[in-house]
A = this chain, B = another copy of it.
Amino acid sequence: MRGCATDGVVAWHRTLRKAFHSFCSPTSCIFGPNLPDVWVPREHTPPHTLFPESLQWANNGHNALILEGKPIAKQIKLEVADEIRRMKSGIGKFPRLAVVLVGDRRDSHTFIHIKLKACDQVGIETVTSQLPENCDESELLDVVSGFNEDPDVHGILVQLPLPQHLDEEKIINVVSPEKDVDGFHPLNIGNLAIRGRKPFFVPCAPKGCIELLLRHGVEIKGKRAVIIGRSKIVGLPTSLLLQRHHATVSVLHAYTKNPEHITSEADIVVVDVGVPNIVRGNWLKKGAVVIDMGTNQVKDPSGHGFCVSGDVCFEEAVKVASAITPVPGGVGPVTISMLLSNTLDSAKRAFGMV
């Protein structure tokens, strides 16, 4: 985002947004344009020096643009609700999501509550199956299989993590890939990884990350993207999706020797590590776009109870980055709306509408 006086940034965003929407059809947007790799033999060129572009990207003393997730989530929910209303009045059908919850984890119950409420707001019917902490694996498999075979269920969400005695891999494998609204099934991950293919679903948090970037007009093609963290739920699929958008992707993890240096070269930084404030302001190139996907429970500085903090030291990063997500209120709300959009897509496929 060059020319970074605030008006210039906003104007640049509008230009990018127009350019982007004329570039690819809405249905291909989430995977990026399917461009061939045409390599051109290169002349002898010396190595780049660090930060040639960032000098132009300097945020000129302005704080970063805050990439608010709530307005985007709200917009997406309106779009989904509208489509479901038309589906109901048109063909008398609607999407149904099955939710499977095992055990008593407080955070899991909270997340499920948020998801069910969001479904209710947009017109997605839900059916919940709750199993005790010590349930047999066969019970859980039966529940999932039942939802697989139910033609009136379009999405199946098994809330993770599962109790330790259950084989999470086996459970995820059993969910039908065509109802795997979380996008965790290896068939969906494989089809996400392979350029030119389309999975039935993209995992919600990575999909939300891309929506945040695209809807704020952030250019991805040709940019250096660094993903810090490689979880199967966030880091891995986000890296695959950014690569589909033709970013040059580097994935950092706990065995990376110099994450600060590599991160300092990134135009786009996505963090999901689970350590509060691990990414400091001096890790970042001036003008970088920062997507903080961390959700850490930390003691509230006021001394009363707990609050949610990201993996990025916001106070430092906001002075360096050109744009940054807040925590909470960044990727989180958009992630939930992606679950709604995934469930709707599944129903549309089931009804032969796509």
Interface positions of A (Cβ within 8 A of B): 35-42, 44-48, 50, 169, 185-191, 193-197, 221-222, 224, 229-230, 232, 236, 240, 243, 246, 248-262, 264, 273-278, 280, 282
Q: Which of A38, A189, A232, A246 has the most CB of B within 10 A?
A: A189
Determine the main DSSP class of A at the interface with B. Answer: loop
Whether A258 and B48, one on each chain, are in contact in the complex, defined by CB atoms closer than 8 angstroms, is yes
Whether B222 and A257, one on each chain, are in contact in the complex, defined by CB atoms closer than 8 angstroms, is yes
Seed contacts A41-B275, A187-B187, A249-B250; 11 additional CB < 8 Å A-B pairs: A37-B229, A37-B254, A37-B255, A44-B282, A48-B261, A50-B50, A188-B190, A189-B193, A194-B232, A221-B255, A222-B256
**6 sample A-B contacts, Cβ–Cβ < 8 Å, listed by A number:** A37-B255, A39-B274, A187-B187, A190-B190, A222-B257, A246-B253
Number of copies: 2
Whether A193 and B260, one on each chain, are in contact in the complex, defined by CB atoms closer than 8 angstroms, is no
Q: A259: which B residues are within 8 A, CB to CB?
A: 42
Q: A40: which B residues are within 8 A, CB to CB?
A: 254, 275
Q: How far is the CB of A210 from chain B (nearest CB, A)?
A: 16
Q: How far is the CA of A229 from the CA of B37 in the complex (A)?
A: 8
Question: Given A42-B260, A250-B249, A250-B250, A236–B37 Cβ distance below 8 Å?
Answer: no
Whether A256 and B248, one on each chain, are in contact in the complex, defined by CB atoms closer than 8 angstroms, is yes
Q: How far is the CA of A222 from the CA of B255 in the complex (A)?
A: 5
Q: How far is the CB of A287 from chain B (nearest CB, A)?
A: 15
Q: How far is the CB of A5 from chain B (nearest CB, A)?
A: 24
Whether A243 and B254, one on each chain, are in contact in the complex, defined by CB atoms closer than 8 angstroms, is no
